[in-house]
A = this chain, B = another copy of it.
């Protein structure tokens, strides 16, 4: 359960830790980045935690370098966890063949189809194994105050993990999420690969647009999508489907979908609105 710290990097008054650990759910060593804000170094203090789930092809490094969550997190006293996006090096045939399936594309689900069951269990890794390991190793992290956000595939991950686990996360937000994966090429390819053809079962269980229909209680979500995002234009994100489903279920009143003029799918987009998403999480984490 313990972590190996491969680097400690000063950033915005706090520390970015580059960590690795042996994970049983994913059946391999996993790398991640953990940002500890300056407030975490006060003896006896506990800081809340924001998980940031990355998109296709990314590791935990991309957003730690380009996302600028540390800027606001350091001011508000929130730790940021940047996990990897899949198991690595499982030697499953074809795992490195495509950018949108296998390595770098775990989709935050537990695969039910061979051979991916061998370790493509990012759902269990993110919701159970990783937080348990972090909270047992880092006393300065408050296991009672956890929020989640993410980008693209990671926005899908943030929305679905939040909606499937009422109470586990204090808040959720998303950047350009794959909001209706059962109806877009990325999601269909991934779900077919990880779940097989069970479209009425597992597919729907991991589709935010399906899940929001069943949500009970208040639902305050911040979602940013760029109007210049080519993946949005190609119908990979479908935030309108998510909003429509939420509205039909009477859950849309506090879902703030902001269509940001001209922004694309890149970290230039994420970094621009990172402060807003940290502020959204802080409303709940620091309440």
Q: Measuring CB to CB, which residues of chain A are less than 8 angstroms from any residue of chain B? A: 9-13, 16, 65-66, 68, 70-71, 226, 228, 260-264, 266-269, 271-272
Contact = CB atoms under 8 A, between A and B. Distances in A.
A43 B261 CA distance: 19
11 contacts: A9-B266, A9-B268, A10-B226, A10-B228, A10-B272, A11-B271, A13-B272, A65-B267, A68-B71, A70-B271, A71-B71
A272 B9 contact: no
B9 A264 contact: yes
Q: How many copies of this chain?
A: 2
B10 A271 contact: no
A70, A262, A263, A268: which has the most chain B beta carbons within 10 Å?
A268
B272 A12 contact: yes
Helix, strand, loop or mixed for chain A's interface? mixed
B261 A10 contact: yes
B71 A260 contact: no
Contacts of A9: 264, 266, 268
Nearest to A268: B11
Nearest 9 interchain pairs by C-beta? A10-B262, A11-B268, A10-B263, A12-B272, A9-B268, A65-B66, A68-B68, A66-B66, A11-B272
Contacts of A70: 271
Given A10-B263, A13-B272, A68-B71, 16 more contacts: A9-B264, A9-B266, A10-B226, A10-B260, A10-B262, A10-B264, A10-B268, A10-B269, A10-B272, A11-B271, A11-B272, A12-B271, A12-B272, A65-B66, A68-B68, A70-B271
A28 to B, nearest CB: 27
A71 to B, nearest CB: 7
A70 B81 CA distance: 24
Contacts of A264: 9-10
A226, A260, A264: which has the most chain B beta carbons within 10 Å?
A264
